[in-house]
Amino acid sequence: MPVKDLQPSNIRNIALCSPHGTGKTSLAESLLYRAKVTTRHGKVEEGTTALDFSPEEIHRKITVSLGVAPLEWRDTKVNLLDTPGYADFVGDLVAGLRVADAAAFCIKASAGIEAGSEMVWDRVEERGCPVICLVTQMEKEHAAFAKALDGATSRLGKRFVPLAFPIGEGEKFRGLVDLLSMKGYLFEKDGSAKEAPLPPEVEADAQKARGALVDAAAEADDALLEKFLGGGELSVEEVRRGVRSGFLNKSFVPALPVASYPMMGIDHVLDTFVWLLPSPVDCGPVTGVKPGTEEKVELPVQPHGHLAALIFKTSSETHAGDLSMIRVFAGTLVPGKEVWNASAQRAEKIGQLFHVSGKERKDAPNLIAGDVGAAVKLRESHTGQTLCEKNFPILLRPIPFPHHELEVAIFVKNKADEEKMGSGLHKLREEDPTLHVHVDSSLHQTLLQATGDLQVDVIVEKLQRRFGVHVELAKPRIPYRETIRRSVSKQGRHKKQTGGRGQFGDVHVRLEPLKSGSGFEFVDEIVGGSVPRNYIPAVEKGIIEAMHEGVLAGYPVVDVRAALYDGSYHTVDSSEMAFKIAGSMAFKEGAKEAGPILLEPIVEVEVRVPKDFVGSVTGDLSSKRGKILGMGEEGRYEVIRAHVPQAELYKYSTHLRSLTQGRASHRTKFSHYEEIPREFAEKVVTQAKAEKEAMASA
């Protein structure tokens, strides 16, 4: 039953966030089933959940793409945003958090804080919204509620405080104590719970947990603190008020136990969402800037005001075809109306609107302030852009998509599919803004920049399933360069006499090494017209062309000065072409004698790593021929900067994850070129020769 007369104040937008396998999708499934959005209780294991529906998700049993599903509970519309837990899909975690008003951070009861938890937590903290903690899979062996929360408190540096205390753990999990009212509840099969006396064995623990909750509540509210310190007893409503302020101020993280599969603690989660989470109105006015300026613009969160909406996802996976998923922050989005895309500075007509639930969609008459829904894919607008009114422009904060960490070369198995791959990648990039495609013409490769291996796997699979293109991956070629170490003078003489008009060009060129990064310099030192003026540019051109393919391994030559200091010509047979060839010959012959060397690109790497892993990361960087440049502290992290040869960094993100239990991240940028050590240079030369021969025989 849809909430009658939906207002922003009865909407809750919550992003479920945690590392892979904690049970977010399973929890969403149980909440949807309990709220009667679905009629069957699906399982991730069986590929039957409402939110993991794409083939890539079903066979991997993981969430790949942010899923949205609304439910209604006690006259409140709760929009669940189920984010992926794998770091490879962090773009969708960030997008989900951007449009949520609160986060549910899940911790597996048997494992506590796991590999990957801190990365997710950092994103949640960056977003800065209030966080509730759900301790999941409480019915499983080794579940330990209090231990999981203590671990979270010490590892994440934030106080995790129970709102309810479990009655039994593991296979004995059967109920909970609501710490506000100190009433006990035993679970029923359908997700509800019945009031029951507190079992004596939990009484002491529950009392202690209540003490911590009351402390936290009192600290969050001055009036309550005064009463509490004065020895007064706080009422249930007062504690609730204090808990809510502490939660909204982010002074602590309230926590609940739950088990999704057996439907235990489900009503408690839903009830808590309704009373505890902020409505869009509670989040205060919507803020943005006037496009092109830094001038702040504010809009009230109400349906009858100016429009401000953010496109947070583009999806083609639903039954519904291509959709632009939108969060409306202010005003109302109405089908058939023209809106203004303030990010792209162009008008956009809104077509049909929908409420989306997993892969299903239902027509929506409109989308009001605070709500989340979708429009038929907008033609001119993309993920991260703001929709508003032309006469009241506002630019909302964009989605802070992360930098890519991985680069692979991608190519088609069948040459005829080249164009299909291009358009398929274009579409997938529209759906996943963390993906970048870059055609490197000098390396003759299409490079895919992404967040991780798993994401690339999924892309390869989607290209095949949706666009019928078989692709293969390869290591990106390294853009080696060549240069010279010694000065050398060389003559280039081109003479051909084949009857009729001949060809004649003769030059003397001095090649000199230049400082790294200088590129190429041509100097005209001709005096007395030994080479006529009009042929000199042709000599330069010939040298530049010859420099495209160095004499060692065919890589471009850099950091060379070529001085043309002498030559001779023939009044009839000389031509631009003949001088160009002579210039090129002088370079090729000269370079061989000028101590040619191979250069490799050196990259500046910045690794953000928890302090415990600093030693293993720096050791590993050194083993990759890296030089540590420096280190600096950033909260719980250490940031290590190093220069490392690009050739050593293929799939570094994957390696770094295994080295640090998924707790580090890195970014790279080109720094400079350096000479390759001899033993590596030989390999590069041999490989280049083999590639050349293979190409010639192909």
Q: Is 584 in the site for ligand GTP (CB under 6 A)?
A: no
Exposure b/e, 411-435, CB count within 10 A at least 16 = b: ebeeeebeebbbebbebbbbbbbbb
Ordered alpha helix ranges (H), 334-476: 418-431, 453-467
Q: Is 54 in the site for ligand GTP (CB under 6 A)?
A: no
Among 70, 85, 452, 476, binds ligand GTP (CB under 6 A): 85
Q: Is 608 in the site for ligand GTP (CB under 6 A)?
A: no
Length of the chain in terms of residues written: 698
Residues that bind Mg ion (CB under 5 A): 24-25, 63
Q: Is 660 in the site for ligand GTP (CB under 6 A)?
A: no
Contact 517, 672 (CB under 8 A): yes
Q: Please say which residue, 489 or 661, places its beta carbon nearer to ligand GTP.
A: 661
What residue is closest to ligand GTP based on CB? 85
The H or E element that residue 288 is part of is: strand 286-289
Q: Please say which residue, 61 or 592, places its beta carbon nearer to ligand GTP.
A: 61
Task: Show the site string, 155-184: x = touches ligand GTP by CB under 6 A, - = not.
Answer: ------------------------------
Q: Please say which residue, 90 or 681, places its beta carbon nearer to ligand GTP.
A: 90
Closest approach, Cβ 22 to ligand GTP, in A, equals 4
Q: Please say which residue, 44 or 478, places its beta carbon nearer to Mg ion.
A: 44
Closest approach, Cβ 49 to Mg ion, in A, equals 8
Closest approach, Cβ 166 to ligand GTP, in A, equals 13
Q: Please say which residue, 127 or 494, places its beta carbon nearer to ligand GTP.
A: 127
Residue whose pair of structure tokens reads 């502290």 in the numeric block: 633
User: What's the count of helices (H) and strands (E) in the chain, helices before strands?
Assistant: 16, 37
The H or E element that residue 273 is part of is: helix 266-276
In whole angstroms, what is the distance from residue 411 CA to residue 469 CA?
A: 10
Q: Is 574 in the site for ligand GTP (CB under 6 A)?
A: no
Closest approach, Cβ 95 to ligand GTP, in A, equals 15
Q: Enter the DSSP assignment of 574.
A: B
Q: Please say which residue, 28 or 408, places its beta carbon nearer to ligand GTP.
A: 28
Contact 327, 297 (CB under 8 A): no
Q: Is 44 in the site for ligand GTP (CB under 6 A)?
A: yes
Among 10, 54, 79, 137, binds ligand GTP (CB under 6 A): 137
Query: By CB under 6 A, what part of segment 252-291 binds ligand GTP?
Result: 259-261
In whole angstroms, what is the distance from residue 616 CA to residue 621 CA?
A: 9
* Residue 260 touches which member of ligand GTP, Mg ion, none, C-beta under 5-8 Å by kind: ligand GTP
Contact 671, 643 (CB under 8 A): yes
Q: Please say which residue, 21 or 168, places its beta carbon nearer to ligand GTP.
A: 21
Among 98, 123, 127, 140, binds ligand GTP (CB under 6 A): 140
In whole angstroms, what is the distance from residue 269 CA to residue 185 CA?
A: 13
Closest approach, Cβ 272 to Mg ion, in A, equals 21
Query: By CB under 6 A, what part of segment 478-517 binds ligand GTP?
Result: none
Contact 384, 393 (CB under 8 A): no
Q: Is 191 in the site for ligand GTP (CB under 6 A)?
A: no
Q: Is 21 in the site for ligand GTP (CB under 6 A)?
A: yes
In whole angstroms, what is the distance from residue 688 CA to residue 698 CA?
A: 15
Of 67, 82, 90, 78, nearest to 37 by C-alpha is: 78
| Residue 624 phi, psi (nearest 5) | -95, 25
Q: Is 63 in the site for ligand GTP (CB under 6 A)?
A: yes
* Residue 641 touches which member of ligand GTP, Mg ion, none, C-beta under 5-8 Å by kind: none
User: Which residues in 611-664 belong to E strands, given as ranges?
Assistant: 627-634, 637-645
Contact 136, 259 (CB under 8 A): yes
Q: Binding-site residue total for ligand GTP (CB under 6 A)? A: 23
Both structure tokens of 453: 């291996």
Q: Is 61 in the site for ligand GTP (CB under 6 A)?
A: yes
Q: Is 84 in the site for ligand GTP (CB under 6 A)?
A: yes
Contact 618, 503 (CB under 8 A): no
Q: Is 79 in the site for ligand GTP (CB under 6 A)?
A: no
Q: Is 25 in the site for ligand GTP (CB under 6 A)?
A: yes
Q: Is 86 in the site for ligand GTP (CB under 6 A)?
A: yes
Q: Please say which residue, 434 or 446, places its beta carbon nearer to ligand GTP.
A: 434
Residues 6+ apart with CB under 8 A from 668: 603, 604, 605, 606, 649, 652
Binding site for ligand GTP (CB under 6 A): 18, 20-26, 44-45, 61-63, 84-86, 136-137, 139-140, 259-261
